[in-house]
Copies of this chain bind each other. A is one copy, B any other.
Amino acid sequence: MTDFAAWMQACQSHMESVLAACLPPAHIAPQRLHEAMRYAVLGGGKRVRPLLAFAAGEVAGADPARVQHAAAAVELLHAYSLVHDDMPAMDDDALRRGKPTVHVEFDEATALLVGDALQSLAFEVLAAQPLADDPAVQLRMVHLLAQAAGSRGMAGGQAIDLASVGKPLDLAELEYMHIHKTGALIRASVLLGAHCGTADDDTLGALDHYAKCIGLAFQVVDDVLDAEASTATLGKTAGKDAANNKPTYVSLLGAARARELAQELRADAHAALDRLDDSAGRLRQLADFVVERVF
């Protein structure tokens, strides 16, 4: 197994080309929309979701040439959600990945359409070519991704998040919100990667549990970073949660306990993979990577 950092960098760099090829060229009409879609997706982001898809694909013996399309579909959905979340009607944020957000760099109408068109493109990419031996499995992948994106997944989590501003949430409610807002797409990344190969129900169950732990750990770590890191380090506006009076793991638990929780979730994620062999090595490393960002 090559060094984790090298693997991660190779995946990230490869995903940049895959995404660039999925996105319509900026010289094709409507040019401004296509330019803005490329601006929103390319040249930034840790590509955590694609990394998870590739790592889960290794467990299922999936061809990376297939996984890359599933990974691109998830990343396009993630990118759309960032564009819409940053809009004035939502979080009203001006900075993302160290650059002006889409509605600032372009305009609000374009940002709205960029998000809309990126969501369509995600499903286009997921259905464009065979990603599983059985097309019925690929249809299940479409169904899974659509559910993860929708009102009982990511969009629903965002709705709960908006409704929670200024309201006291308890830990269970905060977890419920994050399981939808970020957890659903993290879970889809892992399961879609696995569906590109072959995995029995026990393995899928283990991956699902792993994904749930990682999704929450990711959010706990994000909350710690938002509270403690600088805007320059994050590439997005820091301290926003506190400024918006949004409940976070740090505001509910304090930073020290939040860090402990992230460690516990990492341990749970590793435990979920116990019954899997060395093919789960990348998933184990990713669990460490997600949590070690704050240590």
Contact = CB atoms under 8 A, between A and B. Distances in A.
A163 to B, nearest CB: 7
Contact of A135 (B116, B126, B136, B158): B136
A33 B159 contact: yes
Contacts of A127: 139-140, 142-143, 146
A227 interface: no
Interface stretch (A84-92, A217-225, A260-268, A284-292): A84-92
Nearest to A144: B127
A138 interface: yes
Interface residues on A, range: 35 or more
A29 interface: yes
Interface stretch (A64-72, A148-156, A242-250): A148-156
20 contacts: A29-B156, A30-B163, A32-B163, A33-B151, A33-B155, A89-B107, A89-B111, A90-B109, A110-B159, A112-B112, A115-B116, A116-B149, A119-B120, A120-B151, A123-B123, A123-B145, A124-B143, A127-B140, A127-B142, A135-B138
